[in-house]
Structure 1
Amino acid sequence: MEPDLFTAAAEERLEKDPSAGPLAVRMRPRTLDEVVGQRHLLRPGSPLRRLVGESGGSPAGASSVILWGPPGIGKTTLAYVVSRATEKRFVELSAITAGVKEVRAVIEGARRAAGGFGKETVLFLDEIHRFSKAQQDSLLPAVENRWVTLIAATTENPYFSVISPLLSRSLLLTLEPLTDDDLRDLLRRALGEERGLGGAVTLPEDAEAHLLRVAGGDARRALTALEAAAGAALDKGEAEITLATVEETVDRAAVTYDRDGDQHYDVASALIKSIRGSDVDAALHYLARMIDAGEDPRFIARRLMISASEDIGLADPTALPLAVAAAQAVAMIGFPEAALTLSHATIALALAPKSNTATTAIGAALADVRAGLAGSVPAHLRDGHYKGAAALGHAQGYVYPHDVPGAIAAQQYAPDALHGKRYYEPTRYGAEARYADVVEKVRERLRGG
């Protein structure tokens, strides 16, 4: 049996009885207008609407589509909507379990369906980035000859994970994470529509807010949690889904955390201060609270990057590259896997040796500049790459450091008003101990000692 996402029997059953099947299945969009989020892809005349034959376009305008975005935002749903709108067969494969053999079987089935019944096929290939180059090459004949309309999904940058011949034949659509407003609209539609819960229960704001946090931007997770909570409420004879009922059914307590209020800043502050204080366990607690409350992982990653320079600095020069790498990883993978990356970075930063000299040094330098302690750039340091510079004394007498032993030339660099001023005062913690030894020797050489 072909791995169709929806068999004809299942669709017919849903049409006859809208309450059949899980809520997430019943609320699956049937048209592009029912898709939540992705407004940038759904505007009139967009490539996606032309793909399904709207706006005077042709569904044959692209032989392949690549959907790129984080997990749980509707890549499979969009593929199904395209298939339904164009009345094509829909076959789904996952690159995790399928190989060249399975791909060739689907392609052969598509050729038979087209030849025998005149029915074209949409092949949805999930996680195409897991296919090797040879496996991706096996798709090219079907795409080039239009035996199938390939819709491939990936959570990784397709410019790095998809072969160039396939990418050049594809319409690349970048999907954006679902917002709370997107999911709120979906939940409210599910509560009221006949194919959903048909108005059988209501959902107060506090319970709705908790469902949004539990969902973590995933539409299917939001609908599954709503269905479980609604069932529990109805079993108790209640027409309202209370916060307590939601907590019982999803087995997660609501965390007091308002992403737009004081809790947002208080918990974020506590995370950074725990890292600064080297209390790795407290830091992980606050990180967990932020993750569980649905905080934007990119916000957390930005705070960690700041901490790496503000509180660790040269005591561990690897801290900042690690935090930057974590931020890049978080942006690429999203939740839930991003929690592992954030934990990795938080533990490393909390246990790193600490130094705030980068903070105090630039703070002292800025304070002098803002107080008017600036002065003219010494003449020998000024630009000498123009006619007349020598006559002005610019760049005259400058000693090129690479021409002297040790590559440190005894000359004045700071303006006269700041000559001899010290901003950087290194600690003896971690790797900064080396800088403490070096800076004194360098300063002595600069003075001509």
Structure 2
Amino acid sequence: MDDMPETHYARSGEYHIAYQVIGRGPFDLVFIPGFVSSVEGGWENPQLAHFYRRLASFARVILFDKRGTGMSDPVPVRQFPTLEQRMDDVRAVMDAAGSRQAALVGVSEGGPLSLLFAASHPARTSAIVLIGAFARIAWAPDHPFGASLELHEGMLQRMEQRWGQGVLLTAFAPSLAGDAAARDAWARLQRRAASPSAAAAATRMAYEIDVRSVLPAVRVPTLILHRTGDRMVSVEHARYFARHMPGAKLLELPGVDHFFWVGDADAYLDHVQEFLTGERHVVETDRILASILFVDIVGSTEKAARLGDAGWHGLLDSFYSVARRQLERFRGHEVDSAGDGLFASFDGPARAVRCAAAIGSGVRLLGLEVRAGVHAGECEVIGTKIGGIAVHIGARVASHASPNEVLVSSTVKDLVAGSGMAFQDRGVHSLKGVPGQWHLYAATESN
């Protein structure tokens, strides 16, 4: 990517630790990742990149890969680094980046490391934010909400067999379970972040962590953020922090995803910004006229059941490949994708209609049928997302389309007058959740 931050290396003992510095805010923030990461690979994921940029909008952010992961030096898997050694990495990166003191944002396994560093180096720690973190992940008689050894070993087995293929996406991000594009992105990040052996070693090390005894010694301001439905790390871990850390603030948020960048990541970011700066993030919105396209695969559930997981994911990959080629051809912007379709925007309705038709033609060669809906209207643009009533109308129009049909609203039909496109009247319809009656038309081949 063109705006990839420059990667530097800090010396921590005999190891080189990869790090990046982004933003020019009034204070430093060290982002401490989970069990694996890649400072450069992470920027390939738009959602993860958005998270980093939001942090950099109010702080000078230091990103790094712990030794043994990402772009930092590898380590022997039988000698995977302890928390104490990784704490040395944090200090080395701060020194190399010229940071005397920083707020620490620790996610998942980065939480225990943040706590140990803060307790050991309070003068260098201004505050801590814990996101989806834990003090001890393993079950114990006095820690009943921890993960069982059987669950841990089963996860290790799956990782060693299928690492680099997007394994465990369902556990880390249930909301993306059927999203082939998200699985591909997670698979690429896995390969950039660690080898199978290194990922397994990091997971074993995480299972052995126990910093419960450290909690009373943490005296810096602490914010605990956790999603109540997190299936990987129970919210009970956050509640444990709150009970054992004097003065810590706990905020429970809705959601099921453990990945901090998935789901409503901006809710996390809003609370982080307010806690560290005292100011609430003000969302700046732009309103534009956009043409909205929704495309869905017909009979996706039945096809997935017939093909099985592997066959269905392969077919989805081919579907998205065809669709994205046509989006590029017609200058469309992919806003979101689901398990069996996509949502895109265009700066002109004719391109949206032609793109929908081209996608339909292309995927028929794969044995797929799609239904598509197009509407044009004023939309709110918030970051990389687009929303508003026009988006809801576009989705409802698509839901009325028949297989192999591109259905459009009367707004679209009127706007493309003179383009040579032909339409067939499909009558007046009520669109669920949208006021009024809507005249819909099917795009047909022009003469």
Q: TM-score, structure 1 length as denominator?
A: 0.26
Q: Which has the larger radius of gyration?
A: 1
Which structure: greater strand fraction?
2
TM-score when scaled to structure 2?
0.27
